[in-house]
């Protein structure tokens, strides 16, 4: 009798949010052959022999402070035009199974536990998840709402860092798909250096910044000086509500600005504005206005409009990262993975331009195959 196929855990922070729900539903649909793997780079030919865990082998769980069950959350995403009609019913068992593995997050406003108690509780949840499901490893991925930039003199760790510290304690690789602090908290510096675990982040690159990372190198390579680059985002849903907080918006915009500064050599004049428009739900519109100089000082402008659904853009990237980081852990890789900068606004090193990041990612696929 053959041994059962190994299974890999994916533990979402913000497990009942739009991104996690879309990723869980999408993985189930892909595994069942109901939908194609649109948007998943790891399902393209260069990754075919990289030893990545199969979508059907992924087991989902997570932490969340919300209590809306995943099947209901998925139906709400259908109503919002994010998920296709009939999908929640077709994968109802998979959604219910994942929902049963979601544990209460925190800290909530009335939570009296200190940081160490919270970290220990979260780490125990991760360990129990692995044991209960017979998992070879679990990748922790933060897809929760953006936190405000923490107070440097604050006594407590931000929630994202509590979850990240719990991942390290439980021996789990970590991915931060948000602009929140996560593993970059100064108090975690020594633990991160000593953990011997692969990790990647920060802030997933899904829409406006993805386009910026393509356009900015064009201006640099064609010797066209950029005088100003301004942008506006209109979005609703949980992200819109969270980013209505000026502190959270500042954390989000830092990554957007870094892409331009790293590629152009300096941040151009202009800012990004984020407006919460609840009626848009999970959909967003992003505008960019780029003022640049041409030959003999001719002043020109490029304007772009990006309209899309953040959850549907993010979900395939999250599944990519779960598979890539799990395989990196299996191969014994440790520390930050700059080769995964392709997926992030504020990555752990590596080039800033998307095409160069893609080449680094393809080289990483070779590393995962065991090539030199």
Q: pLDDT tens per residue, the chain (372 residues)?
A: 456 679 999 999 999 999 999 999 999 999 999 999 999 999 999 999 999 999 999 999 999 999 999 999 999 999 999 999 999 999 999 999 999 999 999 998 888 999 999 999 999 999 999 999 999 999 999 999 989 888 887 889 999 999 999 999 999 999 999 999 999 999 999 999 999 999 999 999 998 888 898 899 999 999 999 999 999 989 887 776 666 667 666 666 676 677 888 889 888 999 888 888 988 888 999 999 999 999 999 999 999 999 999 899 999 999 999 999 999 999 999 999 999 999 999 998 887 778 899 999 999 999 999 875
Nearest CA-CA partner of 98 in 18, 11, 171, 40: 11
Entry pTM: 0.92
Residue-level pLDDT at 126? 98
Helix and strand counts by DSSP (H, E) for the chain = 12, 11
**Alpha-carbon Rg for the chain in angstroms:** 20
Residue-level pLDDT at 351? 79
Residue-level pLDDT at 109? 85
Nearest CA-CA partner of 11 in 59, 74, 68: 59
How many CB atoms within 10 Å of residue 332? 8
The Cα 294–Cα 223 span in angstroms is 9
* Contact indicator for 202, 181 with CB cutoff of 8 Å: no
The Cα 73–Cα 99 span in angstroms is 10
Give the H or E element holding residue 229.
strand 226-235
């Amino acid at each position: 009798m053959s041994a059962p196929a190994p299974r890999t855990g994916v533990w979402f922070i913000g497990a009942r949010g739009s991104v996690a729900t879309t990723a869980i539903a999408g993985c189930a649909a892909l595994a069942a052959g109901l939908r194609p793997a649109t948007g998943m780079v790891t399902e393209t030919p260069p990754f075919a022999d990289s030893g990545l865990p199969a979508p059907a082998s992924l087991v989902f769980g997570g932490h969340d402070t919300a209590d809306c069950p995943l099947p209901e959350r998925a139906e709400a995403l259908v109503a919002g035009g994010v998920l296709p009609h009939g999908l929640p019913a077709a994968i109802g068992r998979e959604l219910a199974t994942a929902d049963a593995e979601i544990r209460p997050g925190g800290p909530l406003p009335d939570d009296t536990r200190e940081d160490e108690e919270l970290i220990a509780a979260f780490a125990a949840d991760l360990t129990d998840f692995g044991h209960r499901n017979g998992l070879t490893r679990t990748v922790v991925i933060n897809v929760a709402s953006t936190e405000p930039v923490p107070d440097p003199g604050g006594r407590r760790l931000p929630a994202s860092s509590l979850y990240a510290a719990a991942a390290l304690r439980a021996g789990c690789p970590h991915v931060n798909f948000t602009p929140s602090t996560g593993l970059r908290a100064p108090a975690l510096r020594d633990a991160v250096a000593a953990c011997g675990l692969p990790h990647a982040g920060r802030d997933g690159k899904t829409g406006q910044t993805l386009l910026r990372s393509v356009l900015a190198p064009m201006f640099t390579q064609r010797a066209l000086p950029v005088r100003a680059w301004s942008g506006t985002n209109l979005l609703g849903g949980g992200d819109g509500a969270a980013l209505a907080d000026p502190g959270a918006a500042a954390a989000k915009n830092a990554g957007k600005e870094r892409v331009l500064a790293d590629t152009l050599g300096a941040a151009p004049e202009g800012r990004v504005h984020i407006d919460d428009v609840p009626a848009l739900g999970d959909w967003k519109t992003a505008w960019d206005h780029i003022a640049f100089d041409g030959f003999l000082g001719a002043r020109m402008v490029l304007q772009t409009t990006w309209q899309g659904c953040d959850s549907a853009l993010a979900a395939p990237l999250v599944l990519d990262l779960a598979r890539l980081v799990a395989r990196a852990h299996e191969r014994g890789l440790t520390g930050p993975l700059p080769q995964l900068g392709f997926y992030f606004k504020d990555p752990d090193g590596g080039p800033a331009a998307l095409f160069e990041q893609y080449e680094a990612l393809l080289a990483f696929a070779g590393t995962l195959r065991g090539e030199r």
